[in-house]
């Protein structure tokens, strides 16, 4: 696979939203650089930190010193403003024609990114979504409650909206930049439910969706920011989309 994209003008902007990820950030960035360099793809990593009290931004600055300002871009915001708007903020600063979004807590392994890129090229997909729910995909480390929440959210959404994609709440995805811009414009949700709305809108607009099985491994360091209010937001958005799309 090496050198495959030499001469290609494609550039991949990887968005990493962070909130209290000081222990995870050095590892995820090292893995990203390792896998992207090995595959020869042109890329940049954009860290969107929301004023993490644990000093994530300072760690990010040190990493920027190590890997260079053209590889690591810092686009912080003063306070925790939510995952959905973090992506939008990062996208505005992206110079790539493709955008990759992923979690920064090592739940999403960078080794899958070359597969996303190959898949996209295969059929010129508008977006490629990582899926835990087909083929070799899966979830590791979640308790039963968390698994049920995820399965339940996917099941209900499949039932009500028939989106034609197997993992609706996952957030490991690759988008053509102009496609992501159009989707973002039409999305109303701001929190975690953003992922689900994006894929529903993609179907609504007739965008083509490729899927790559991924394994999601629960974080080792730090804790999830998903809480009861996110579940409520999800239910609300699901009903809204059911009524309007
Ligand atoms: N900038 C910013 N602002 N980053 C945030 C915020 C925020 O308000 N909230 C969370 N993040 C970052 C975290 O630091 C992490 O890198 C990523 O967003 C995901 O947050 P987690 O708190 O680790 O999410 P999770 O593991 O509970 O949820 C994952 O699975 C869900 C369902 O499968 C995520 O992938 C979700 O996006 C997904 O919906
Ligand atoms: Mn996580």
Q: Is the dihedral of CA 166, 167, 173, 175 positive or negative?
A: positive
Residue whose CA is closest, atom 7 of ligand 1?
82
Residues around ligand 2, an ion, CB closer than 5 A: 105, 107, 219
Report the predicted TM-score, pTM, of the whole model to 2 decimal places: 0.91
Q: What is the DSSP string of 2-58?
A: TTTTTT---EEEEEEEESS-TTTHHHHHHHHHHHHHHHT-EEEEEEEEB--TT-HHH
82 ligand 1 Cβ < 6 A: yes
Cα 83 to averaged position of ligand 1 atoms, centre (Å): 6
CA dist list (Å): 44 to 50, 79, 232: 19, 24, 35
Whole-angstrom distance, CA of residue 127 vs CA of residue 209? 5
Pairing of strands 215-217, 173-176: unpaired
Cα 36 to averaged position of ligand 2 atoms, centre (Å): 22
User: Nearest 5°: phi and psi at 129?
Assistant: -115, 130
Relative to the CA of 107, which ligand 1 atom is closest? 26
Cα 84 to averaged position of ligand 2 atoms, centre (Å): 15
Residue whose CA is closest, atom 25 of ligand 1?
224
17 ligand 1 Cβ < 6 A: yes
| Ligand nearest to the CA of residue 196, numbered in listed order | 1
- 212 contacts 128 by C-beta, under 8 angstroms: yes
- 233 contacts 149 by C-beta, under 8 angstroms: no
pLDDT tens for the chain, 245 residues: list them.
Answer: 444 545 589 999 999 999 999 999 999 999 999 999 999 999 999 999 999 999 999 999 999 999 999 999 999 999 999 888 899 999 999 999 999 999 999 999 999 999 999 999 999 999 999 999 999 999 988 888 888 888 888 888 888 887 778 898 889 999 999 999 999 989 888 777 888 899 999 999 999 999 999 999 988 888 887 777 888 888 888 888 888 87
Look at domain 12-244 and name its CATH class.
alpha beta
224 ligand 1 Cβ < 6 A: yes
60 ligand 1 Cβ < 6 A: no
């Amino acid at each position: 696979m090496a050198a495959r994209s030499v001469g290609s003008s494609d550039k991949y902007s990887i968005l990493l939203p962070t909130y209290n990820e000081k222990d995870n950030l050095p590892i995820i960035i090292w893995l990203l650089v390792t896998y992207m360099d090995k595959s020869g793809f042109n890329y940049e990593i954009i860290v969107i930190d929301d004023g993490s009290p644990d000093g994530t931004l300072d760690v990010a600055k040190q990493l920027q010193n190590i890997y260079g300002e053209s590889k690591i871009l810092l686009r912080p915001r003063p306070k925790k403003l939510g995952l959905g708007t973090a992506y939008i903020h990062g996208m505005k600063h992206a110079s790539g024609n493709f955008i990759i979004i992923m979690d920064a807590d090592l739940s999403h392994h960078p080794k899958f990114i070359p597969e996303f890129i190959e898949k996209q090229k295969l059929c010129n997909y508008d977006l490629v979504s990582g899926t835990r729910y087909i083929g070799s995909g899966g979830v590791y480390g979640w308790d039963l409650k968390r698994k049920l929440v995820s399965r339940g959210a996917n099941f209900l959404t499949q039932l009500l909206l028939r989106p034609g994609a197997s993992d609706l709440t996952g957030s490991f995805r690759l988008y053509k930049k102009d496609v992501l811009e159009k989707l973002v414009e039409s999305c109303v949700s701001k929190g975690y439910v953003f992922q689900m709305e994006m894929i529903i809108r993609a179907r609504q607009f007739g965008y083509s969706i490729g899927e790559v099985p991924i394994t999601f491994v629960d974080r080792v360091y730090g804790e999830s920011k998903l809480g009861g209010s996110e579940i409520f937001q999800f239910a609300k958005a699901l009903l809204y989309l059911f009524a309007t799309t």
